[in-house]
C-alpha cells in the first residue's frame, strides 16, 4: 500500500494488523505529513515501511511485483497547501497515480484507489441533496482537481487495459494520527497549548464526518468484495457545520462553546459535502461502528492529550504557515 505513514493510511495499517492476517508493505515518502512513529508498536514481522516516492518508477515496479494487491492512499492532501503551492499536488496525486497504474498493468495486480468526495465540488446548504456514485465531477481546489484527475486515470486504465480496480470516495475523516494542520486536530492542539480555536469565515460550511476506523473497514470490505471497475462512496451520515464542531470541541475540553476566534476564510471554500452511501451499505453490507460523533470526538481529544510526543514536532511550523495566511 502507499501512504501508510499518513493519517488515514496508518489507521488502515493498524486495522489490517488488528483485524486480518495480511502482511503489509508500505511505500511512503515521509513528507511533512508522514510519520514513521504512526506505525510504532506494530509487529515488524507484519509491517515493512519502504521510504520512497510513488513517482519513482523503478521502485514502484519492484514493490508492486512483490505485492498481491495495491491500495493507494499516498497523496498531498491539504486544500490550504494546494492554494499556496499547487504543483506538488499535480506531481504526487496525478503523476504518482499514473506510475502506480503502469506497474499494476505490467504485473496484473488488484488495485484499489482511495479518493475523496471533494471531486464532486460542493452542495448548497440546507438541501436534502447528497453526492452519489453518478454525481458529475466539479472539483474546486487544486487538491480536489488533482484527485479528480487521478480518479479519471484509474477508470481509463481499467477500461482500456482491463485492470482489476475499485475506487472509493470518502467524506471528512477524524481520529488519531491526523496532522495538526487539519481542522479538528488543529483546534484540539491549540486548546491543549493554551491557545485559541480558529474558525474560517462564519463557520456555516458543512462537512460529513466519519471516523477513520470506519473508513478502514469500508476500504477493506471493497477490497475483498467490491465489483471490479466500480466506485463506492463512503460516508456515515455525519453532517455538521464547522461552528457546531468547534463548539463541541470547546465544550468537551471544558471551555465555553463560543470561545473561538473568526479568522480569514479559505478562498473558494466549498460550502457543503454530504455522502449517500446506500450502494456500499446495501451491496456490500457495510455499516459504520462509530455512530456517535460526540463520542468519537471525545476519544480523539483523549488521544491527542495522551500523545503530545506525536503531534508536538508538527505544531510550531504548522501555525507559522497559518499565521502567514492570516488564519
State the Cα angle at 111 between 215 and 135, rounded to 5°: 60
User: Are the C-beta atoms of residues 164 and 114 closer than 8 Å to each other?
Assistant: no
73 is catalytic: no
Give me the least distance between CB of 195 and ligand NAD, in Å please.
22
Q: Residue 7 binds which one of ligand DAU, ligand NAD, none, with CB within 5 to 8 A depending on kind? A: ligand NAD
Measured in degrees and rounded to the nearest 5, phi and psi for residue 273 equal: -120, 145
The distance between the two most distant Cα atoms of the chain, rounded to a whole number of Å, is 57
Please say which residue, 63 or 273, places its beta carbon nearer to ligand DAU: 273
Residue of minimal Cβ distance to ligand DAU: 116
Q: What is the sign of the dihedral through the CA atoms of 253, 257, 263 and 265?
A: positive
Coil, strand or helix: which one is 25? strand
200 is catalytic: no
Scan for cell 452511501, then name that residue: 277
Give me the least distance between CB of 113 and ligand NAD, in Å please.
8
For residue 242, with 0-12 CB atoms within 10 Å meaning exposed, 13-18 middle and 19 or more buried, which class applies? buried
Give me the least distance between CB of 326 and ligand DAU, in Å please.
12
Nearest to 24 by CA among 75, 66, 52: 66
Q: How far apart are CA 216 and CA 212, in angstroms?
A: 6
Give me the least distance between CB of 278 and ligand DAU, in Å please.
18
Q: Residue 8 binds which one of ligand DAU, ligand NAD, none, with CB within 5 to 8 A depending on kind? A: ligand NAD
Q: Is 125 left (phi over 0), alpha (psi -120 to 50) or beta?
A: beta
Q: Residue 296 binds which one of ligand NAD, ligand DAU, none, with CB within 5 to 8 A depending on kind? A: none
What's 237's DSSP letter?
Answer: S
Catalytic choice (28, 53, 76, 143) = 143
Please say which residue, 158 or 172, places its beta carbon nearer to ligand NAD: 172
Q: Residue 67 binds which one of ligand NAD, ligand DAU, none, with CB within 5 to 8 A depending on kind? A: none
Catalytic choice (118, 122, 213, 239) = 118
117 is catalytic: yes
Q: Percent helix, strand and coil across the chain, each rounded to 5?
A: 45, 15, 40
Q: How far apart are CA 54 and CA 111, in angstroms?
A: 14
User: Are the C-beta atoms of residues 156 and 102 closer than 8 Å to each other?
Assistant: no
**Binding footprint of ligand DAU on the chain (CB under 6 A):** 77-79, 116-118, 171-172, 182-183, 186, 198-200, 205, 207, 242, 266, 273
Please say which residue, 92 or 190, places its beta carbon nearer to ligand NAD: 92
Catalytic choice (28, 53, 117, 239) = 117
Question: Which residues have a Cβ under 8 Å from the Cβ of 314 and sit 6 or more positions away?
Answer: 32, 179, 180, 181
Bridge partners for 260 per DSSP: 197
Please say which residue, 166 or 171, places its beta carbon nearer to ligand DAU: 171
Please say which residue, 75 or 153, places its beta carbon nearer to ligand NAD: 75
Give me the least distance between CB of 161 and ligand DAU, in Å please.
27
**Binding footprint of ligand NAD on the chain (CB under 6 A):** 2-3, 5-9, 27-31, 33-34, 53-55, 73-77, 92, 96, 114, 116, 147, 170, 172-173, 179
Give me the least distance between CB of 163 and ligand DAU, in Å please.
23
Please say which residue, 66 or 125, places its beta carbon nearer to ligand DAU: 125
Indicate which residues carry an active-site annotation. Answer: 117-118, 143
Amino acid at each position: 500500500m502507499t501512504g501508510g505513514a499518513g493519517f488515514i493510511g496508518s489507521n488502515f495499517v493498524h486495522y489490517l494488523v488488528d483485524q486480518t492476517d495480511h502482511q503489509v508493505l508500505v511505500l511512503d515518502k515521509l513528507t511533512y505529513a508522514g510519520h514513521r512513529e504512526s506505525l510504532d508498536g506494530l509487529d515488524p514481522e507484519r509491517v515493512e515501511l519502504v521510504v520512497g516516492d510513488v513517482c519513482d518508477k523503478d521502485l514502484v515496479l519492484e514493490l508492486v511485483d512483490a505485492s498481491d494487491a495495491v491500495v493507494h492512499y499516498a497523496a498531498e492532501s491539504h486544500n490550504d497547501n494546494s492554494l499556496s503551492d499547487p504543483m506538488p499536488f499535480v506531481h504526487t496525486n496525478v503523476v504518482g497515480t499514473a506510475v502506480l497504474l503502469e506497474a499494476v498493468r505490467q504485473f496484473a495486480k488488484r488495485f484499489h484507489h482511495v479518493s475523496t468526495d471533494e471531486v464532486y465540488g460542493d452542495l448548497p446548504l440546507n438541501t436534502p441533496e447528497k453526492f452519489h456514485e453518478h454525481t458529475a465531477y466539479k472539483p474546486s481546489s487544486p487538491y480536489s482537481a488533482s484527485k479528480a484527475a487521478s480518479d479519471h486515470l484509474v477508470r481509463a486504465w481499467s477500461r482500456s487495459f482491463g485492470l482489476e480496480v475499485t475506487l472509493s470516495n470518502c467524506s471528512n475523516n477524524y481520529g488519531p494520527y491526523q496532522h495538526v494542520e487539519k481542522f479538528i486536530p488543529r483546534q484540539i492542539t491549540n486548546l491543549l497549548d493554551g491557545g485559541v480555536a480558529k474558525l474560517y469565515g462564519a463557520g456555516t460550511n458543512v462537512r460529513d464526518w466519519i471516523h477513520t476506523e470506519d473508513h478502514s473497514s469500508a476500504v477493506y470490505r471493497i477490497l475483498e468484495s467490491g465489483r471490479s471497475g466500480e466506485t463506492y462512496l463512503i460516508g456515515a451520515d455525519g453532517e455538521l457545520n464547522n461552528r457546531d464542531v468547534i463548539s463541541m470541541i470547546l465544550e468537551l475540553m471544558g471551555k465555553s462553546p463560543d470561545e473561538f476566534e473568526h479568522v480569514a476564510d479559505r478562498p473558494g471554500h466549498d460550502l457543503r459535502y454530504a455522502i449517500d452511501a446506500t450502494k456500499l451499505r446495501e451491496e456490500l453490507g457495510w455499516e459504520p461502528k462509530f455512530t456517535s460523533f460526540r463520542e468519537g470526538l471525545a476519544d480523539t481529544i483523549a488521544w491527542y492529550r495522551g500523545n503530545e510526543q506525536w503531534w508536538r514536532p508538527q505544531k510550531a511550523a504548522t501555525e507559522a504557515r497559518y499565521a502567514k495566511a492570516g488564519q
